[in-house]
């Protein structure tokens, strides 16, 4: 079973059982965001977490094993077309140079890790219409010289 | 004067005066992030803010007027090569599908605005090495049907 | 059932029943333009509208459910080759800079939303040959500063 | 003088004289949209209109002659990055297939001309925030068979 | 039945019956060039012509209906690799600027329509080796100003 | 002097002397089409023709010598954006497969030369609006086997 | 049967019968290079040669007919990745400008035909390690002026 | 002095002195092909050869030193547009798979070196029109296993 | 059997037998790195090694024969997206110019072979967290002049 | 002064003083590889190291300050064309999947850092011709789950 088939099996089970990522995440003891990411084939699960997930969703051993495989992270569209995904791309393109300035000002020459990394999404009420707050939390890695 | 020349003038003045974005932002009454973005030519300033900025940096009328122009936001590299910028791109590409799932789960079909939008960057101490926390805050816009 | 299979089922039913988008739109209480868009997999329908549509076209529950799913809006051709689609692309490329000038002149710095958005298509008689009038109606969103 | 230098001269004069496209268009007897497009180098002016325009803006013969040249319409970015321009591109990409369906339904096999074409932009007040309405008006051209 | 399957059915029938495009064109009362184009899925046929074509090639109703559908004209290779097709591309790229000069000299600012358009191919004997003469005949469309 | 500077010098002289390609071609004893192509830097002239051309346009030795250089034929846009040039590209893309069929039917496996090649452009009056007829005349080259 | 299936059938038969391109070429009376090219779907065979080839390889009528079809020569990778193929691409890219200089010096303005063309590959012993010598032999085609 | 300026200086001197690559090559004791390649900036010369070349062309020390620099071999066009260069690209693309087959048949798994490599160009008389014969001679390098 | 199917068969067998590349490499008498590469279809095995590998993994003749075929080395993504693969690409892009300087300083004008090449991967303990050391070992090939 | 001008100044000084990267590295107390990289504008130097470097090369304050700036690491060619650089790219593309397998086998799911990273280049004598050994040494970073 490959990651694509795994994702499809999970999506069908999630829909049938009328579960949310929030509830699945709670059931496996991880955040909704990371759980969704692993179920979409973009992260690997520990054996224990994969077992819990398949228990919650009533899925078999094949899904359980495939969740543990180390993924080959690929995306087809260098620039995404889906409007929600494009807006994320646009935020990073418009504000990327400013982020670079501020990060260097705070920590010196280096990068923000996308590996030692976590993200969180919250809905924020607002009189003019609700807002989404996405928090990206990555380790600062200074360049090494030698 | 175009935005490129404006940015160069600002960078030289900022260096000469040994100012940080943090201090410049405070002096003009805006966040460091947004101020950097406008100085890099990716946002337009109000007349009042531009005046304050040129006062702080000892810059002339041409810079003041150019800061107020509505920019044509362009970037050359569809996929950025600078490691700091690439990591931002990678975060949005690896976690984009998961973000889409969670946003739809929280708010239904729609997008997170990159226009009615603000971002904040903080340094977070951590025993294993300091971290950077980037907060993206955008209005949720539901798709209209008609 | 994915959106592609859904569209094919709808197109066959529409042809068999000799219906037009105009008539289908009227039957479900929405515009022909938006109804076509949702049936082509580029918008999600409310449960109620999906039910009406499947009633008009004599289609089953799978189509009804798939119409309600939030689509991942993708297109393969960054620049379309079909002459009708290319002309739309060309209009926006040739006149894009002029539209930007006029919009900024009327409303200041910001964009025209493609989400809080509606479009209408009319045939206009003309002695030199009939014309098509496409109306794009989007909310103006001013850039936020912070 | 090439079209680029012409545009720069016009933009400086327009700013100095504090004119709008609306007023310039009225002065030369054409729409603001088409006038802006010609001044941006994407259309050629008749000798008479070019003369009027240079009169309004106090510009010399070189600009007058360059305005009359037939432009080589080029754009660098197949997919524009400026958010206002990208939204126009996105509208045509998301709704292109639906527009194709409706145009064929109304007029049969053919295209909407981008040459025998005019466009108009209006601001529309709305309690939830002002809207922009862009009207595209092109001749329907049926495919010829032979 | 989609256009691809239609083309394959026609090609097999044409080969089996040992027909040429010349003969098929004569039988349906259209040119060989346009008939080939419609059979390759790049133009739509009238009901009457489609009927005649299926009669000549002994093909069924599905082909007859598919020939009448309005095609979505797509090509995969922006620059074709087949040497015959590449040479056509090269002709238009090498001589495009000269064609633009001459067309503008003869008719003013505008384009040559690819929609109100016909093409003809003839073999021309020549002592140094036979030649092919391709004639492109399109309506001149002047740009509209407004 | 490179070809680009040569073209600019020729264009200025042509405009100043109010000449057409038709008249320049006649004066040098070549077609307007080929003459324009060589002046645009896409073909090399014989010494004799270059001399005549510089005589007609009152241009010096540098232009005369540069006209004789063998050009490196380059174009920046794989797919041209100018509407007139795009229509030529579209004609060859939409009708390329049909042209391939008909050429093979008439002459067997081979190509139409873009080197042993000539083209002619005529204006054709028509009650519905004037037409442009472009004739492409290339030697048929059969594939060699060995 | 398409060219791809034809190639696969030939490759299996060649392997089973333990034949080389050298031997197959000799058996059909053509060079190994051209024979391989036609079997890989990049050239069409005469009826007689195709018959001989199918006799040698014990293949049926379908392969025989498909070998005679005029191919649509396509390749997926504009720049090949296989190291052997890339080196060929690199040779032509690094030495292309020098080849252009020398060909023009020897024959004037024109090209080397890739259609009226043959190629030969030999192994050349050498004390430092064997070498491969590839000979490209194409007709010189001078540009036509008119 | 960079390689580009070096090439321009050499081309002017070569033209002024009415020399050919053949003669320049003979004067420096190298082939015309390799000499042209080094002068075009695609190879580095030994100090001795560079000295001879500058002697023949009456060029100064700067050119002599720049000829000896190790070049960064770059080309702008992944697929060249100049017809002569494109034909070379096409030869390698159409016949690449056949060359791969024959090289593997003769020498096993490996590549033909583009570094330990030489090329030669000859004009070959032919009653049907002169031909160009290009000989590529590269060392066969077998893949290493370990 | 093609290389893709071969790889899948090997991966399943490796998993079922709970083997590592280290152990498989030892069993066939080759390095883990090269063995993995050949099993992934990027190198060809000798008959003897292929036999040993199929013995260790309990695989049949088809896999054994396919391992010996000379691969067509292809990759889909010119720039890889998987973070591990991208970092390798980034190392070579960021440090490529420096590597070029140092290699030329040590050995003169030439390249490092990717064919007469071996690589080794070791884990290196480190108090700040374990490191990976990749050693690339290629023959230096000087450019030939002639 | 930007990084490009800085690099040019350093290269001229290095040539004039007949220094090697080896010697420059020793003089500033860093490796030749890292020193070259910083001088080529791909890394930032500490104030102390920059001072030493400018002392060795007799360069002024502007170079000293520019060496300390945090670079925006950019490269124009996604796939490099220079043969030495391409071979590095090819190594990582051909062996990337094998490296991924072995790294995951040794350390689990994660990446090899290109930031906490060092590289070393050695010349290795060999009877069959000297070899280059490049050592890449990066920290293993395991993916975080949360």
Q: What is the pLDDT of residues B1-25, one digit of tens each?
A: 999 999 999 999 999 999 999 999 9
E141 contacts on D by Cβ (under 8 Å): 113, 115-116
Name the pLDDT band for G73 (thresholds 50, 70, 90): very high
The topology (CATH level 3) of I3-68 is 434 Repressor (Amino-terminal Domain) (1.10.260)
CB neighbours of C13 closer than 8 A, spacing ≥ 6? C57, C58, C59
The residue written with tokens 């033209």 in the block is H15
Distance from CA of G128 to the nearest CA of J (A): 10
The answer to whether residues E139 and F128 touch, using CB atoms and an 8 Å cutoff, is: yes
CB–CB contact B143 C111 (8 Å): no
A79 by DSSP, 3-state: which?
A: coil
Which of B83, B89, B127 should be substituted to probe chain I, the one whose Cβ sees the most I Cβ atoms within 10 Å?
A: B83
G105-128: average pLDDT: 97
Question: How far apart are the C-alpha atoms of D71 and D39, rounded to whole Å?
Answer: 11
Strand partners, D122: D133
| Cβ of residue A82 closer than 8 Å to a chain J Cβ | no
pLDDT tens digits, one per residue of F64-101: 999 999 999 999 999 999 999 999 999 999 999 999 99
Q: What is the mean pLDDT of chain H?
A: 97
Answer yes or no: B113 catalytic. Answer: yes
Residues of D known to be catalytic: 87, 90, 113
Whether domain A83-142 has CATH 1.20.1250.20: the reply is no
Q: Span G48-70, mean pLDDT?
A: 97
Number of Cβ pairs < 8 A linking chain H and chain J: 10
pLDDT digits (tens, 9 = 90+) for E7-17: 999 999 999 99
Q: Given CB atoms, is E4 within the 8 Å cutoff of chain F?
A: no
Please tell me the distance from the alpha carbon of residue I10 to that of residue I63, in angstroms, as a whole number.
8
**Pairing verdict, β I131-142 and J131-142:** antiparallel
Helix (H) / strand (E) element for I15: namely helix I3-16
pLDDT less than 50: residues of chain H: none
With a CB cutoff of 8 Å and minimum separation 6, the contacts of C90 are D114, F83, F86
Q: Determine the pLDDT at residue H69.
A: 97
Rounded to whole angstroms, the Cα distance separating F119 from E134 reads 10
Q: Among residues of chain H, what percentage have pLDDT more than 90? A: 99
> pLDDT of A71-80, one tens digit each?
999 999 999 9
Question: Within chain B, which residue ranges are assigned CATH 1.10.260.40?
Answer: 3-68
Rounded-to-integer distance, Cα C100 and Cα J116, Å: 45
Distance CA I103, CA I106 (A): 5
Q: What is the pLDDT of residue I133?
A: 98
How high is the pLDDT of residue A129? 94
The pLDDT value recorded for residue D66 is 97
Question: Three-class SS string for chain G?
Answer: CCHHHHHHHHHHHHHHCCCCHHHHHHHHCCCHHHHHHHHCCCCCCCHHHHHHHHHHHCCCHHHHHHHHCCCCCCCCCCCCCCHHHHHHHHHHHHHHHHHHHHHHHHHCCEEEEEEEEEEEEEEECCCCCCEEEEEEEEEEEECCCC
The Cα of I17 is separated from the nearest Cα of chain G by a number of Å equal to: 32
Inter-chain contact C84–D124, Cβ cutoff 8 Å?
Answer: no
CB burial of B4-28 (b: ≥16 within 10 Å; e: otherwise) equals eebbebbeebbeeeeeebbebbeeb
Q: What is the pLDDT of residue A85?
A: 98
pLDDT at I24: 98
Confidence of residue C119 (pLDDT cuts 50, 70, 90): very high
Instruction: Give the model confidence (pLDDT) of H19-46 as tens digits.
Output: 999 999 999 999 999 999 999 999 999 9
pLDDT band at residue I36 using 50, 70 and 90 as cut-offs? very high
> Is residue C33 among the annotated active site residues?
no
Distance set, CA B133 to CA B62, D108, J39 (Å): 36, 55, 32
Q: Is the minimum CB–CB distance between C10 and chain D shorter than 8 Å? A: no
- Give the closest-approach CA distance of H145 to chain F in angstroms: 37
Contact J65, J1 (CB under 8 A): yes
Q: How confident is the model at residue F17 (pLDDT cuts 50, 70, 90)?
A: very high
Q: pLDDT under 70 in chain B at which residues?
A: none
Question: In chain I, which segments carry CATH 3.30.1160.10?
Answer: 83-142
Contacts of G81 in chain J (CB under 8 A): 93
Cβ partners under 8 Å of residue G67, min gap 6: G6, G38, G39, G44, G45, G49, G50, G53, G54
For residue E53, the number of C-alpha atoms closer than 13 Å in the C-beta half-sphere is 34
Residues C41 and B92: their CA atoms lie apart, in Å, by 24
B82 part of contact set with chain J, CB < 8 Å: yes
- Chains B and H, touching by 3 or more CB pairs within 8 angstroms: no
Q: What's the distance, Cα to Cα, between the start and end of chain H in Å? A: 44
Question: Residue C96: its pLDDT value, please?
Answer: 98
How confident is the model at residue D56, as a pLDDT? 97
Give yes or no for a contact between H27 and H52, defined as CB atoms under 8 angstroms apart.
yes
Length of chain I: 146
How confident is the model over C12-16, as a mean pLDDT?
A: 96
Query: In whole angstroms, how far apart are CA C110 and each of B117, B119, D145, J1?
Result: 12, 17, 45, 35
Is it the case that chain E and chain G have 3 or more CB pairs lying under 8 Å apart?
A: yes
Chain G: list its partners (3+ Cβ pairs within 8 Å): E, F, H, I, J
pLDDT band per the 50, 70, 90 thresholds, residue F30: very high
The verdict on F141 touching H (C-beta cutoff 8 Å) is: no
Are the C-beta atoms of residues F133 and E136 closer than 8 Å to each other? yes
Q: Give φ, ψ of D75 to 5 degrees.
A: -140, 145
CA distance D116 to F7: 31
Interface partners of E (3+ CB pairs, < 8 Å)? C, D, F, G, H
C32 band by pLDDT with thresholds 50, 70 and 90 = very high
> Residues with Cβ < 8 Å from F73, sequence gap 6 or more?
E94, F42, H81, H82, H83
* Contact partners, residue A138, CB within 8 Å, separation at least 6: A112, A113, A114, A116, A117, A118, B87, B91, B131, B132, B134
Hey, is the C-beta of J112 within 8 angstroms of any chain I C-beta?
A: yes
Report chain H residues whose CB lies below 8 A from the CB of F110.
none
User: Can you list the alpha helix ranges (DSSP code H) found in D1-82?
Assistant: 3-16, 21-28, 32-39, 47-57, 61-68
């Amino acid at each position: 079973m490959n990651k694509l088939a795994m994702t499809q099996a999970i999506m069908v089970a999630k829909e049938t059982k009328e579960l949310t990522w929030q509830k699945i995440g709670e059931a496996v003891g991880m955040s909704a965001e990371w759980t969704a990411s692993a179920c979409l084939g973009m992260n690997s699960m520990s054996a224990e977490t994969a077992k819990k997930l398949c228990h919650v969703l009533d899925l078999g051993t094949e899904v359980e094993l495939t969740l543990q495989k180390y993924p080959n992270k690929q995306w087809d569209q260098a620039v995404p077309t889906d409007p929600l995904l494009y807006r994320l791309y646009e935020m990073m393109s418009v504000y990327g140079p400013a982020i670079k300035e501020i990060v260097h000002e705070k920590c010196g020459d280096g990068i923000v890790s996308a590996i030692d990394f976590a993200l969180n999404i919250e809905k924020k009420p607002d009189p003019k219409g609700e807002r989404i707050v996405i928090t990206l939390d990555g380790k600062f890695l200074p360049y090494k010289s030698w």
